[in-house]
Amino acid sequence: MLLQLGLMLLAVIAVAVLSMFKVLREYERAVVFWFGRFQTIKGPGLIIIIPVVQQIVRVDLRTVVMDVPSQDVISRDNVSVKVNAVIYFRVIDPKNAIIQVENFFDATSQLAQTTLRSVLGQHELDEMLSERDKLNADIQRILDEQTDNWGIKVANVEIKHVDLNETMVRAIARQAEAERTRRAKVIHAEGEQQAAAMLVQAAKELSTQPQALQLRYLQTLSDIAGEKNSTIVFPLPMDLITPLMKKINQ
């Protein structure tokens, strides 16, 4: 009987001694409590914990990639869209991550969802589609400020998808088509304006050189004759037309 009690006691002591040794990986830290009060942070490597007297909570320091569930957002111009995002964050202060918040992962997820809706709701749909980098930076800055007390560092935020309903997709397609038509008309008008300016310049130059005007006249006759039409053109010399024009003007 005494032998059995002795063996049991030795087994209990062996288990207690073995439980004192903990091995933490390079990316892990142990938040150590002494009778429930914070004592220190240990790790990585081999650490010794006194059973019953000390308790530890392991904290992973690696970057966490969190998917933010799709959120219903109403933009500033009253367009309803569904937006989801991804957040990259990590623990930089294990003590605050364990003491200041119950579950830092869930807390960061909920905060990211509300911040996503709040920030995007202040912008119009066109800004959501064309200015994602700016919106990502705004969301990241707000999240980083609010999670600082939790010992969390938000490194990056990326908006993944902005989903529109079918009606809005058709409306945006019509808008894009109208924009392309407008640009085409503007380019055509600019071309006409430039062509008119060039013609005016050419007319001014020809008016200063009568010989050049006569050569242009002969070239035009040659072009008409080469088109194989039935039009008959009677050329008049410029030296005959000029006196007539002067008399008419008098």
Which distant-in-sequence residues (6+ apart) come within 8 Å of 185 by Cβ? none
Mean pLDDT calculated for residue range 66-89: 90
CA angle 75, 78, 81 (to 5 degrees): 55
Domain locations along the chain: 15-60, 64-164, 175-227
pLDDT digits (tens, 9 = 90+) for 178-207: 777 888 888 888 888 888 888 777 767 666
Q: What is the pTM of this model?
A: 0.66
Who wins on pLDDT, 37 or 208?
Answer: 37
Q: Among residues 139, 151, 83, which one has the least CA distance to residue 111? A: 139
Mean pLDDT calculated for residue range 208-215: 63
- If DSSP codes are grouped into helix, strand and coil, which group holds residue 70? strand
Contact (Cβ atoms closer than 8 angstroms) between residue 31 and residue 59:
yes
% the chain with pLDDT above 70? 76
Cα gap 247→19, rounded to integer Å: 123
Contact (Cβ atoms closer than 8 angstroms) between residue 68 and residue 116:
yes
Most confident segment among 6-20, 74-88, 170-184, 213-227: 74-88
% the chain with pLDDT above 90? 42
pLDDT digits (tens, 9 = 90+) for 109-131: 999 999 999 999 999 888 888 88
pLDDT band, residue 224 (cuts 50/70/90): low
Cα gap 130→51, rounded to integer Å: 58
The tokens describing 73, both together, are: 């957002």
Backbone angles phi, psi at 26, to 5 degrees: -60, -35
pLDDT digits (tens, 9 = 90+) for 1-44: 666 777 777 777 777 777 789 999 999 999 999 999 999 999 89
Who wins on pLDDT, 30 or 175?
Answer: 30
133-137, 171-175, 187-191, 237-241: which range is least confident on average?
237-241
Which pLDDT does position 240 carry in this prediction? 57
Mean pLDDT calculated for residue range 77-91: 91
Which pLDDT does position 4 carry in this prediction? 74
Q: What is the CATH number of domain 64-164?
A: 3.30.479.30
Q: Which residues pair with 158 in a beta bridge?
A: 86
